[in-house]
Amino acid sequence: MARADTGQQDSKDGDFRPAIDVSDVWAGYNGQAALEGVTLAIEEGCLAGLVGPNGSGKSTLLRVILGLHQPWRGKVRLFGQKIDGARRLLGYMPQVELVDWDFPISVFDVVMMGRYGRLGLLRRPNRQDQEIVWRCLEQVGMTDLAQRQIGELSAGQQRRVLIARTLAQEPRILLLDEPFTGLDASAQHDLLDLFNEVRAAGKTLLVATHDLSCVAAAFDHAACLNRKIIAFGEPRAIFTEEVLNATFQTHLLLVNVEGKTYVSYQ
């Protein structure tokens, strides 16, 4: 189950206790609103998409959930806890464009960075930390490239390294910002398979993206966001031309081929 404060809910379960609970959040920058009254709840073990165009508030909402951006009003709870007491439940993957891929560092060392939040100021990585890093690299299929410099990676490999770093934080919730950007169809498919594996392990994933086809193909739920929640529910139920046109503020054409939904920008 999942719910949001919109006219297109797909659940009214009074016993529903979400992994992520965003309630009436308003936030912005320099007096300009980026989020307006956003209410959103996502169950544990769900693969959920946060869908909207550039500038719709997706990254801002992730930053609010992470506790990196203070909302003007509203609140966020993670498994019923305030953010300050639940930060270790979260793992975050930034947009790939924000990473300096020319920095001379190995894949292994990048993933080890995911352990730093649990090491504290004085403790150095030990054998257990190294074992966790290797396990995360194995999970994303990157053990053979552990000593490779990150500047030598393909676009798909870059995403896998960042996801491994996120998993090394041992989170219960993963927040991922635009992981599909710049990937070809094959790499997108591989990434979706990885997301399904992470979800099957009991993790909750919230993925900010403007890639509607990936969300329609494999996600449990989607939230259409353009400063406000336009609609929330199963992609097949809410991905209508009316909802998507309101979200992206442009005309979109939906095409269904053999049970799969494709989106054409007009």
Strands (E), the chain: 2-4, 20-29, 32-42, 47-51, 73-78, 81-82, 90-93, 173-177, 204-209, 221-226, 228-233, 252-257, 260-265
Domain ranges, residue 119 = 2-265
pLDDT for 29 equals 95
CA neighbor of 166 nearest in space, from 210, 124, 212, 207: 207
pLDDT for 78 equals 96
pLDDT for 206 equals 98
CATH of the domain at 107: 3.40.50.300
Answer yes or no: are the C-beta atoms of 219 and 47 closer than 8 Å: yes
Q: What is the domain count for the chain?
A: 1
pLDDT for 181 equals 87
Neighbours of 32 (CB within 10 A): 6
Rounded to whole angstroms, the Cα distance separating 120 from 32 reads: 36
Answer yes or no: are the C-beta atoms of 34 and 27 closer than 8 Å: yes
Residue 113 Rama label (left phi>0; alpha psi -120 to 50; beta): alpha
- Report pTM: 0.87
Answer yes or no: are the C-beta atoms of 1 and 38 closer than 8 Å: no
pLDDT for 13 equals 47
Answer yes or no: are the C-beta atoms of 175 and 92 closer than 8 Å: yes
* 211-214: Cβ within 8 A, 24+ apart: 211/180, 211/181, 212/51, 212/239, 212/244, 212/252, 212/261, 212/263, 213/260, 213/261, 213/262, 213/263, 214/49, 214/180, 214/188
Residues 6+ apart with CB under 8 A from 145: 107, 153, 157
Rounded to whole angstroms, the Cα distance separating 1 from 220 reads: 9
pLDDT for 264 equals 56
How does pLDDT run along the chain (266 residues), one tens digit per residue? 455 654 434 444 455 679 999 999 999 999 999 999 999 999 999 999 999 999 999 999 999 999 999 999 999 999 999 998 898 999 999 998 889 999 999 999 999 999 988 776 667 888 999 999 999 999 999 999 999 999 999 989 999 999 999 999 999 999 999 999 888 888 889 999 999 999 999 999 999 998 888 898 899 999 999 999 999 999 989 998 899 889 988 766 665 655 555 555 55
Q: How far is CA 23 from CA 85, 150, 174, 193, in A?
A: 18, 39, 19, 31
pLDDT for 207 equals 97
| Ordered DSSP codes for 9-35 | -S---TT---SEEEEEEEEEETTEEEE
